[in-house]
Structure 1
């Protein structure tokens, strides 16, 4: 883990980071449920990983569809580019690449896929990075 990261982990959350994974400076991990980052991952500068949208049910307010929080799972050997954002309930399969600046709101189920954009979508399959 590099200096300057923010790890805000709730009392019931479990956050795990696999061996040989590097989290670059200025990253933020906010977890009320759980975040799992696999082995051999590269997390770029300024990445945000947040498993909660903090939209609580209130009297007279909008009630969001679905839960306000859900665990995030990042598989083994995943490269997350700088300034990408990964949100609640997302699972990223092994060997994937998340392009810099991507906003990942849905799971990436196919291993070795590359996703980019906002919202992120698969732009390439069968990728390999070393």
Structure 2
């Protein structure tokens, strides 16, 4: 591929991406009311079960599976690659020989408190909650309740590291 073709394809990609982003924002007007800042095109499954507070920032490659319900507080930042899951398999009755379509799925809601920053590539598992004013370090996996306000959490699974105040 020569330099001219490469430049044209790069420009074409940027134009198509901007059109997709504008269409996405146009068809998600509930985000306008909340003054949400959307960078990129997040993937949101079952958006009617997603409650977003005001002044939320959602960045590139965020995936929100809201089947079990997701509540995101005010002034929350979801950084690049954040994944929020609310659905999983029922491992209490899991049978290896069972076919995929017969496995039971369970749903648990996720809650993220006001003023929280979820750093890059964090995975939040079903049933998890994060208290207000927290930072969850990049690459962490949130399982269960991070219930101390204004704290730094990190690791796999995410655990308390220190107070922020």
Q: TM-score, normalised by structure 2?
A: 0.67
Aligned length in residues: 121
1:102 and 2:140 aligned: yes
Alignment map for 1:45-56 (pairs within 5 Å): 45-55=80-90
Deviation at 1:3, TM superposition (A): 2.2
Alignment map for 1:38-49 (pairs within 5 Å): 38-49=73-84
Counterpart for residue 8 of structure 1: 45
Match of 1:111 among 146, 149, 152: 149
TM-superposition CA deviations, 1:53-100 (whole Å, max 9, x none): 1448878449xxxx8221000000000000001011111111010001
Alignment map for 1:8-87 (pairs within 5 Å): 8-9=45-46, 14-55=49-90, 60-61=95-96, 68-87=106-125
Q: Of Structure 1 and Structure 2, which has the larger fraction of its residues in helix? A: 2
SS at match of 1:68: strand
Q: Which has the larger radius of gyration?
A: 2
Q: Which consecutive residues of structure 1, in runs of 5 or more, have no partner in the other structure?
A: none
Query: Bigger relative contact order, structure 1 or 2, given CA contacts below 8 A and separation 6+?
Result: 1
* Contact kept in structure 2, 1:114 and 1:124, CA below 8 Å: yes
Deviation at 1:42, TM superposition (A): 1.0
Q: Which consecutive residues of structure 2, in runs of 5 or more, have no partner in the other structure?
A: 1-37, 98-104
Deviation at 1:4, TM superposition (A): 2.3
Q: How far apart are the structure 1 equivalents of 2:119 and 2:95? A: 40
SS at match of 1:29: strand
C-alpha RMSD of matched pairs (Å): 2.3
Deviation at 1:106, TM superposition (A): 1.6
CA 1:57–1:32 in structure 2 vs 1: closer, same or farther (change >3 Å)? Answer: farther
TM-superposition CA deviations, 1:31-70 (whole Å, max 9, x none): 21100000001110000000111448878449xxxx8221
